[in-house]
Structure 1
Amino acid sequence: MATNEAEMQEKLGGAPQSKQALRLWLRLLTCTTLIENRIRNQLRAEFDTTLPRFDVLAALDRYPDGLTMGELSRCLMVSNGNVTGVVNRLVTDGLVSRTASPADRRTHFVRLTDKGQEDFRRMAEVHHGWVESMFSGIDAADADQLYNELERLKRSVFAFDEKSETS
């Protein structure tokens, strides 16, 4: 393993402190990808569903009165086109209802059906267990510290975005 670490250091510019941000980004990306792949596989195996479907159900669960398709897209940070296909399948499966806005027929509200709420709650409980299991190697104090550091990183990214927009 030491050889692999040394090779990685050489590829990233030599000294352990050089390119720290890049190393951190790659570590975050690796962890995210590993967790996401595990969850995708578990959702498929246990519930015959996909992560995008789960994410839509989770977003709608947080908004019992429903969301417009645009609000749902922003909430999930994906394009309207991506959401439309997933929502169409969830409507067909009876998990989500879609109704036109009385004020603007071009705008549609989507919300969980009773079946959607029931299915999501069952999946969410199991999903919670998977996440707990994957994070079980991190004690509470370290988890709190990591959470706080990631919050600082998020603020830094938002500040960068704001600075880029004004430049």
Structure 2
Amino acid sequence: MSAKENSADNQTPLPRRRLRTWLRLLRVTRSTENQLREFLRVTHDTTLPRFDVMAALYREDAPMKMSDLSKMLLVSNGNASTIVNRLEKDGLVARTPVAKDRRVVNVELTPLGRTQFEEQAKGHETVVDDIFSTLDHDDLDLIRDLLRRAEAGEQA
């Protein structure tokens, strides 16, 4: 950043700078998501929401209640169910009713789903690495620390 830009930023009221920062974060997030959506569509004939559901199930590594999956993904039960229905139809996830409570359904990746997700995740990681390739360890530490501070302020 040039001295002129830094000086101009210091003249801008803090609430305005915070708003600009939020908008820049949003642009970076949307741009990154768009690149990942395109990669998943072209390379794996899938969508980012399907990838996200499979990632959550992969991380859990055990059957998971549909309601817990929805909470983890920050989506409604209906949205999660729609995606799980399609994944189940494709043989990538399996649902298992809970014997003691018919209202509860567990879901987990099938062996095919686990294999497909692992392939997708490798490419996903490569795309993210390419997108952020200009950032080194110190940059990433700084961003992580700043985002943690912002999260702490959000929760206060």
TM-score (normalised: structure 2): 0.90
Query: Which residue of the partner structure matches residue 122 of structure 2?
Result: 125
Identity %: 44
What is the aligned length? 147
Is 1:139 aligned to 2:136, yes or no? yes
The list of structure 1 runs, each at least 4 consecutive aligned residues, that deviate by more than 2 angstroms after superposition, is 15-18
Deviation at 1:158, TM superposition (A): 2.1
Post-superposition CA distance 1:24-62 (Å, at most 9, x none): 110110110000010001100000000000000000001
- Opposite residue 135 of structure 2, the aligned amino acid is I
Query: Which residue of the partner structure matches residue 42 of structure 2?
Result: 45
Q: Distance in 1 between matches of 2:135 and 2:43?
A: 26
Q: Which has the higher contact order (CA 8 A, sep 6+)?
A: 2
TM-score (normalised: structure 1): 0.84
Post-superposition CA distance 1:66-86 (Å, at most 9, x none): 211110000001111110100
Deviation at 1:131, TM superposition (A): 0.5
Deviation at 1:16, TM superposition (A): 3.0
Structure 2 residue ranges without an equivalent (≥5):
none
- Opposite residue 27 of structure 1, the aligned amino acid is R
Once the two structures are overlaid, the 10-residue window that deviates more, 82-91 or 19-28, is 19-28
Q: Secondary structure at the match of 1:105?
A: strand
Structure 1 residue ranges without an equivalent (≥5):
10-14, 160-167
Q: Distance in 2 between matches of 1:85 and 1:37?
A: 21
26, 30, 35: which one aligns with 1:29: 26
Alignment of 1:67-146 (within 5 A): 67-146=64-143
- Opposite residue 33 of structure 2, the aligned amino acid is E
Deviation at 1:157, TM superposition (A): 1.5
Q: Distance in 1 between matches of 2:146 and 2:115?
A: 35
